[in-house]
A and B are shown apart, each in its own frame.
Chain A
């Protein structure tokens, strides 16, 4: 990258906008690209140096801020002590536009970068940066297009963090020197590593690890699914095989059923054609059934009767009951008569006793005469005789009691008319009825049989039998078909589910799974290679920087005869070595040269194509070494924009020694009328037309 021009609009001490904007050109007519801008302190050299940084990165560090301090100059302020970027006089005059236009060449194409700030709409007098609005654009001057990712474009040319190696301020050379001497400064170490591309390795390893970690997670998820998939694949094979078998079976079933149905059609057709015979046969079968039923019923009835009471016993029991009943009734009659006789004897005995004692008649109450002795003897004899008869009657009287006999008589009568016996009689009637029906059915059957010839009957029966058998067979086949179809449906559902698990990949790993594995393997291998290369690259770069820096240093130092060179350690700590390889303390000037040498070596080794823009280059370096440094810089092949202070390089000497390598040289002076304004005077002009 080469800077071709810079145009400043109300930039710090550079007053002017539009056509009166201040411009410096760095592109010589014969390819000269260096430039020296002379100026005393406070005349605007640093503002110019800062303008380049602002154009590229949009901000400007306050000069006194150290390496790590992120303090930036405000875009606008009303007090010059705040170091605003907008020129104070412009601000006072109501001109609120501040900016830088940077013309440059990159990769063979010319660009114009324009970064500026103007007051926001509605803000009459901006007093704070927040009241300003930025415009930033990069135009390709060769093809007229505008760069879209503007800041990225700039960062691709030179990341802001690495700009310090290309654009440095001699005022801060001591800082560089200290840092190189003691690289405990982590940030600087990081920048040195960055310019030598170590982060390409370290960040690469980090990125590969991140990707590997993500992929590992993905793969483990895929693996879980895949294991399920493998099991599913086996199940699927099995299910598919089962399905094939089932479908074959279904085919067989269908064929079998269709065979039966075909035959059934023939049988039905035949039976239709032989309807009479079929009817006769049906009648015959009906009568046969009736007869069979009668026979069955007869059997049933006989069984019932046998259970209820065997018939042969019925008559015997009935006769015995009658006989027993007669006897009980005879006993009851005799018992009654005996009772009556005993009663009569009791009356006679009582009468005779009364007569014997002369008491009134127990019946008529007529007073009786006391009998004579003779009569008494006669009465006593009669009484004895009567009592004897009575005793005999009492002794011969039937036992048990008449009440028992009476109950017995009733029980026997009941038994004779009991339901059980009636049931037997009823069953007997039914039996007779069924026997009659059987006879009738047999007669009908005989008649029906006569209607069918034996031959026809056999044929019809055969077809009917076949019809029945075919229907049964069809039913069975349909049953089997239904069962088989259910299994087929189940298998198909199962296969569909398994298919869902497997996706389209079958038992193989899904593409995303396999691709993740491939990428992981690549990333792991890349990471390994990156790790392997890290040490080699680090050491290689250390040696390269050491060699380059050492070479420049030795060419610049007036003590090169006593020095062996520079030593750069692994941690990029640096040292000056004497001839014996021991550390040499070195003077401030030597360390200043060391800083330049290392910066140059770093920028050279980086391969980054960017000019060296050096403000106040000579701080801490004596005149002799300074001239050697300038000699080196203006012949190093890089574009060098040098902004020396008067004592560092007098314009006459600078123009004389280096003017031929410059596109132009300029001198900055404060405006005589307004000391806050810088005027630019061109001294050497090699710009051509």
Chain B
């Protein structure tokens, strides 16, 4: 019987979170956001629209973070 290990997705999220947390430019990218991005990409993995829907979804994830950073800069 196969051991219960973290799934490829969980491992990937974990790796990405670790990488992003080390990047000071990605302070605003929380673990939740990384998970959101991964889920979105996962959802559009077999997209047949030249990745338009995926790119749009990515914008939707990043837009609030951009707003947050922008507001922070204004202060």
Contacts and interface: CB of A to CB of B under 8 A. Distances in A.
Tell me the interface secondary structure of chain B in the complex.
helix
B19 to A, nearest CB: 4
B62 to A, nearest CB: 6
Contacts of B1: 632, 635-637
A314 interface: no
Contacts of A530: 16
A210 B55 contact: yes
A345 interface: no
A197 B45 CA distance: 9
B66 A515 contact: yes
Question: Which of B12, B15, B55, B59 has most A Cβ within 10 Å?
Answer: B12
Contact of A533 (B19, B25, B37, B67): B19
Q: Considering residues A521, A529, A530, which has the most beta carbons from chain B within 10 angstroms of its beta carbon?
A: A529
Nearest to A544: B5
Interface string A601-627: 100111110000000000000000000
Given A514-B70, A522-B28, A529-B16, A200 B2 contact: no
A560 interface: no
A632 B1 CA distance: 6
Interface in A198-225: 199-201, 203-204, 206-208, 210-211
A530 B42 CA distance: 14
Contacts of A606: 7-9
Interface in B40-70: 41-46, 51, 54-55, 58-59, 62-63, 65-67, 69-70
B32 interface: no
A195 interface: yes
Given A197-B42, A204-B41, A605-B7, A533 B65 contact: no
Interface residues of A, number: 54
Given A526-B20, A552-B2, A600-B2, A541 B8 contact: yes
Contact of A540 (B2, B15, B59, B62): B15
B16 to A, nearest CB: 6
B41 A199 contact: yes
A161 interface: yes
Contacts of A632: 1
Contacts of B10: 607
Interface string B1-42: 111111111111001100110010110110000000110011
A472 interface: no
A196 B45 CA distance: 11
B20 to A, nearest CB: 5
B45 A533 contact: no
Contacts of A532: 19
A519 B62 contact: yes
B29 to A, nearest CB: 7
Given A211-B55, A605-B7, A607-B9, A203 B41 contact: yes
B9 to A, nearest CB: 5
Contacts of A537: 8, 11-12, 15
Nearest to A203: B41
A211 B23 contact: no
B66 A203 contact: no
B19 A529 contact: yes
Nearest to A522: B62
A207 B19 contact: no
Contacts of A194: 45-46
A551 B25 contact: no
Given A195-B8, A514-B73, A522 B65 contact: yes
Contact of A519 (B7, B16, B54, B66): B66
- Greatest chain B CB density within 10 A among A161, A194, A526 is at A526
A8 interface: no
A532 B20 CA distance: 10
Contacts of A529: 16, 19-20, 23, 26
Contacts of A600: 2
B33 to A, nearest CB: 10
Nearest to A530: B16
A635 B1 CA distance: 7
Nearest to A204: B41
Contacts of B55: 207, 210-211
A207 B41 contact: yes
Contacts of B54: 203, 207
Contacts of A518: 66, 69-70, 73
B46 A200 contact: no
B51 A203 contact: yes
A161 B16 CA distance: 25
Interface string A265-296: 00000000000000000000000000000000
Interface string A431-467: 0000000000000000000000000000000000000
A13 B51 CA distance: 41
**Considering the complex of A and B, which 9 residue pairs feature the smallest CB-CB distances, nearest first?**
A607-B7, A529-B19, A604-B2, A200-B41, A525-B25, A199-B45, A196-B8, A197-B8, A519-B66
Interface of A: 152, 155-156, 159-161, 194-197, 199-201, 203-204, 206-208, 210-211, 511, 514-515, 518-519, 521-523, 525-526, 528-530, 532-533, 536-537, 540-541, 544, 548, 551-552, 600-601, 604-608, 632, 635-637
19 contacts: A200-B38, A200-B41, A200-B45, A204-B38, A207-B54, A210-B51, A210-B55, A211-B55, A514-B70, A514-B73, A519-B62, A522-B28, A522-B65, A537-B15, A541-B11, A605-B5, A606-B7, A607-B9, A636-B1
Given A519-B66, A544-B11, 19 more contacts: A155-B43, A156-B43, A201-B12, A203-B45, A204-B41, A206-B51, A207-B54, A515-B66, A518-B73, A521-B25, A522-B25, A529-B19, A529-B23, A530-B16, A533-B15, A537-B12, A607-B6, A635-B1, A637-B4
